[in-house]
Amino acid sequence: MNDVVLWRRLVAEFLGSAFLAAVVIGSGIAAQRLSPGNAGLQLFENAAATAAGLFAIILMFGAVSGAHLNPVVSFVDATFGGLSWRDAGAYLPAQVAGCIGGAIVANLMFSRAAVSISTKHRATPAHFLSEVVATVGLLLVIFALARTGRTRSAPAAVGAYIGAAYFFTSSTSFANPAITVGRMFSDSFAGIAPSSVPSFIVAQVLGGVVAIGVIKVLYPGINRAEAADIIVPHLRGPSDPETNLGAVPAHDTQQRETL
């Protein structure tokens, strides 16, 4: 493999993040129009579309980049040796740019201004705690599946968790700094005011730090090869830790060779 693999993975992270933002924001706008005045139904429609869309997006892009779509996921993965710090740093701008681009596309698909800064304030202590909890839970789902060899279930499990977390957290579970920034660019049901963004990002980073500790307690034997296969097995580059670990898992050999 050569550096073109990283280039392909960055394209996958950008496009996957763009689709994620388009699904989250687009379904939020649609929910407002389809169910005016009914916040509960709007949230259900937004959550259902996001859960289903996330499942499909992971299947679309996971084999190339792992479909992290989330800087916290990438940097926690780097902490466990599954992704190089260089590549985690490269993933971050691709993820953020993708989410901003997806927000713009979502606005345009509904004949709105390409950029409309959200006025929806969300920064409260309850929202902060919710984002910590949502992020910890997301990372536990991802790493538990990797540690126990059930990564094939990850697309459904991640989608299901995020869909559920829309309802059991007061913040509606952003759990992702990139999508938090992207949602700032749409003044819609799924938006977030710029003044609330720093609080959400700090909570998400804190959630990532807490998750590292919890994962080490619950799964002390997690190794670099297992961490390298979150969320689903995917292409490697020369800088990735797993490149020097030896054999590729048998269930994944044919898939990688075809890519």
CATH label of the domain that carries residue 124: 1.20.1080.10
Q: Would you say residue 134 lies in a domain? A: yes
Predicted TM-score of the model (pTM) = 0.89
User: Cα–Cα distances in Å, from 112 out to 37, 115, 117, 154, 178?
Assistant: 20, 8, 12, 34, 22
Percent over 70 (pLDDT), the chain: 88
Longest dimension (CA), the chain: 57
Give Cα 201 to chain centroid, integer Å.
13
Q: How confident is the model at residue 90 (pLDDT cuts 50, 70, 90)?
A: very high
> pLDDT for 110-151, tens place per residue?
999 999 999 999 999 999 999 999 999 999 999 999 999 999
Q: Would you say residue 252 lies in a domain? A: no
Q: Would you say residue 217 lies in a domain? A: yes
Q: How confident is the model at residue 238 (pLDDT cuts 50, 70, 90)?
A: low
In the chain, how many domains are there? Answer: 1
Q: Look at residue 173 in the predicted model and tell me its pLDDT.
A: 95
Distance CA 151, CA 218 (A): 17
What does the mean pLDDT of the chain come to?
A: 90
Q: Would you say residue 88 lies in a domain? A: yes
Is 4 a residue whose pLDDT tops 90? Answer: no
Q: Look at residue 235 in the predicted model and tell me its pLDDT.
A: 64
Is 12 a residue whose pLDDT tops 50? Answer: yes
- pLDDT, mean of residues 6-27: 97
Structure tokens at 182: 């992207």
Q: Would you say residue 250 lies in a domain? A: no
Q: Would you say residue 133 lies in a domain? A: yes
Q: Would you say residue 177 lies in a domain? A: yes
Percent over 90 (pLDDT), the chain: 83
